[in-house]
Amino acid sequence: MRSDTITHPTPAMRKAIFEAEVGDDVYGEDPTVNRLEAMVGEMMGKEAALLTTSGTQSNLIAVLTHTKRGDEIIVGDQAHMLWYEVGSAAALGGVVIRTVPNDSYGRLSLDDINRIIRYEDIHYPKTTLLCLENTHNRCGGTALTPDYIDEVCDLAHTRGLKVYLDGARIFNAAVALGVPACRLAQNVDSVALCLSKGLSAPVGSLLCGSKDFIEQARKFRKMLGGGMRQAGIIAAAGIVALKTMVDRLAEDHSNARRLAEGLSNIEGITLTQDEIGTNIVMFNLSPELSTAEFFEGLERAGVKVGFRDGGPFRAVTHCMVSSSDIDEVLARIEAVCRRLRHRT
């Protein structure tokens, strides 16, 4: 349960991969990639889409395409783009990264955004891009609502900024809120989604936006070594993922709630959120129990959860974890906690 990125391609995906019609995608000649890009562009309500190697690559290409070196971009202080992408926007995009605090729902306050955007002054870089994340990973899989996203877009656009949405788990947000994914992306200038998380495809992300934006983005993808030749092999699984794996995300959300409820009854564990929005559950251990021993105990018990930077712990539900697995996980976590409590 470290991540939904560990999911394997389903039998239907493996069959589609085996049978995929392919061509050289750098020449635009892979029919399966072209089909996937057209399908995703339409699904997200954007003119065009581009298959990239990963969510990280989509995020970097979006920055490269929307900005010039020396510009400033605004991201949340808990953003994946800030924490887990090796500083690529700064290192390769040459932009200044300015942060605004994320609240516990993954939102940035409109006042903070308005205050932090630079006005014209010879000393200042130009603020050109604002980035949102939906669902929000480090904020526990919380979903940004369409109304909130619209308000942010209105403000950013009025101040002359573009808005990019890191929608690595946008379908989790869409399913949890009961709205189509394109509604969440309606007013942003560009959006990316991932095939290889809850949707269970082996590889790939799609960056979507206007035709012009995607034309430039395609060139940056090539610059980054992301021109993948017979990528229909990947795209074929992506098409199956989008057709078969979106609606079932509701099951992962209900398993996450089941897990959270069980964890909240275990002495020594506290959840960091009041509500579980999607498929991510974050929790802490009470200070008298040793995190290192807890983590080791879980590993020995065959339960893998995420743990970085001194906590919190993160458990993610996905299609390879059933509701009875959740009960088993809870029993094992409870046993590890009991052992640690008896030792203190």
Residues that bind ligand TLP (CB under 6 A): 3, 5, 54-56, 59, 80, 84, 133, 137, 166, 168, 194, 196, 205
Q: Both tokens of residue 304?
A: 């893998």
- Going by the DSSP 8-state scheme, the letter that residue 204 receives in this structure is -
Task: Give the strand pairing for 306-307 and 313-316.
Answer: antiparallel
Residue with the CB atom nearest ligand TLP in the bound state: 55
Closer of 161 and 168 to ligand TLP (Cβ):
168
Q: Least distance (Å) from ligand TLP to the CB of residue 205? A: 6
Q: Least distance (Å) from ligand TLP to the CB of residue 155? A: 22
Angstrom distances, CA of residue 30 to CA of 22, 114, 208, 237: 5, 44, 18, 14
The count of other CB atoms within 10 Å of the CB of residue 160 is: 10
User: In sequence order, which ranges of 178-264 are alpha helices (DSSP H)?
Assistant: 181-185, 211-223, 232-244, 249-264
Q: Least distance (Å) from ligand TLP to the CB of residue 137? A: 4
CA nearest to 134, candidates 189, 71, 177, 82: 177
Closer of 168 and 260 to ligand TLP (Cβ):
168
**If DSSP codes are grouped into helix, strand and coil, which group holds residue 242?**
helix
Contact predicate 74/129, CB 8 Å = yes
The count of other CB atoms within 10 Å of the CB of residue 221 is: 25
Q: Least distance (Å) from ligand TLP to the CB of residue 224? A: 12
CA nearest to 270, candidates 258, 285, 260: 285
Q: Least distance (Å) from ligand TLP to the CB of residue 184? A: 14
> 79 φ, ψ to 5°?
-65, 140
Closer of 9 and 55 to ligand TLP (Cβ):
55
Q: Least distance (Å) from ligand TLP to the CB of residue 119? A: 30
Closer of 41 and 106 to ligand TLP (Cβ):
106
Closer of 289 and 319 to ligand TLP (Cβ):
319
Q: Least distance (Å) from ligand TLP to the CB of residue 57? A: 7
Closer of 10 and 57 to ligand TLP (Cβ):
57
Closer of 117 and 203 to ligand TLP (Cβ):
203
Q: What one-character-per-residue DSSP string does 104-138 give? A: TTS-B-HHHHHHHSPPS-TTSPPEEEEEEESSBTT
